[in-house]
A and B are shown apart, each in its own frame.
Chain A
Amino acid sequence: MSTNAKDLRHPLKRARGFGSAQSGVGHWWTQRVSAAALVLLSLWFVFTVLSLLHADYSTAKAAVAKPWNALLLILFVVTMFWHAVLGLQVVIEDYVHTRWKEVVLLVAIKFLAVLGALAGVLAVLRIALGV
C-alpha cells in the first residue's frame, strides 16, 4: 500500500472513508443528490396534481395506479422524506444545544420520516396493486 507521509490518518481510517467529521461528506453528497432528484420529481408531482385537479375519485385512483406514476410517486415519497431528514438534522444540530434534546429530536425525525415514507409507499402500492 502506498502511504502518503503527510497523511496523519491511520490507513484503516482512510479505508473506511471517514473524514474529520466521520460522515459529513456522505451527508453533504446525499443531500445534494436527493436535491437534484427532487428538482425533477417535485416538478413532475406538481404537474400530475394539476392534471388531476377536477378528477373524480376513480380517475385519480386510476392515474396513481399507472405503473410509471406509481413508480415515480414512490420515488418522490422516499426521496422527499430522505432529503427532509438530512435538512432537519442540520437545523437541529445548529440550533438545539442541549445534547439530550438534540439526540431525542434527531431520532424522532428519523422515526417519523421512516413511518411517513413507508405509509406513503404502502398507500401507493395498495392503489397500484388494487388491494
Chain B
Amino acid sequence: MADTRRPLSPHLQIYKWQVQMVTSILHRATGIALAVGTLLVVWGLLSLAAGEAVFDQFKICIGSAPGMMLLFGWSWALFYHLCNGIRHLLQDTGAGYAIPQFVRSSWLSVVVSLVLVAIVWACVLTSGGAA
C-alpha cells in the first residue's frame, strides 16, 4: 500500500465499460504476457542451439495441447499489442484524438488483431498442425 494517505482517483467499477478502456487495459495485459513470452522465444533458440534431442523435446512441449494454447495466446497477444501499438504510435503524433476516431481506432485494433491471428492459425492448421 501507499506510504502516504492521498486521495485516490475513482475506482474502475464506477465507470461504464467502453471500448477505449478495454483496449488500454488489454495493451498493458498483453504487454505483460509478451514479456513473459520472451522466455518462450529464448527457450526455442536455446534448444535449437543445444542439439536435435533437446529441440525435439521443445517441439513436443509446444506441440502438446497446453503448449498450443500457450502459442495461440502468445500469438494473439503479439498481434493485439502490435495493432494497438501502431495505433498508439499514430496517436503520439497527435492524430486521431476526437472521440469518434478514438472509438473507431480502438475497435480497429481489436478486429485487425483477431483477423491476423485467424490468418496465422489458418496457415498453421491447413498445413497440418504446428511444430
In the complex, the answer to whether B92 meets A84 with C-beta atoms within 8 Å is: no
Give the interface size class of chain A: 35 or more
Chain B contacts of A60 at CB under 8 A?
Answer: 48, 55
What are the interface flags for A108-131 relative to B under an 8 Å C-beta threshold, 1 for contact and 0 otherwise? 010001001001101110110000
In the complex, the answer to whether A54 meets B128 with C-beta atoms within 8 Å is: yes
Interface residues of B: mostly helix, strand, loop or mixed? helix
Chain B contacts of A122 at CB under 8 A?
Answer: 49
Instruction: Give the number of chain B interface residues (Cβ < 8 Å).
Output: 34
In-complex Cβ contact of B41 among A58, A77, A127 (8 A): A77
Q: Which residue of A lies closest to B39 (CB)?
A: A116
Report the bound CA distance from A38 to B2 in whole Å.
35
Contact (A87, B31) CB under 8 Å given A32-B92, A39-B82, A54-B127? yes
Question: Chain B interface (Cβ within 8 Å of chain A)?
Answer: 1-3, 28, 31-32, 34-35, 38-39, 41-42, 45-46, 48-49, 52, 55-56, 75, 78, 82, 85-86, 88-89, 92, 120, 123-124, 127-128, 130-131
Question: Chain A interface (Cβ within 8 Å of chain B)?
Answer: 32, 35-36, 38-39, 42-43, 45-46, 50, 53-54, 57-58, 60-61, 64, 73, 76-77, 80-81, 84, 87-88, 91, 97-99, 109, 113, 116, 119-120, 122-124, 126-127
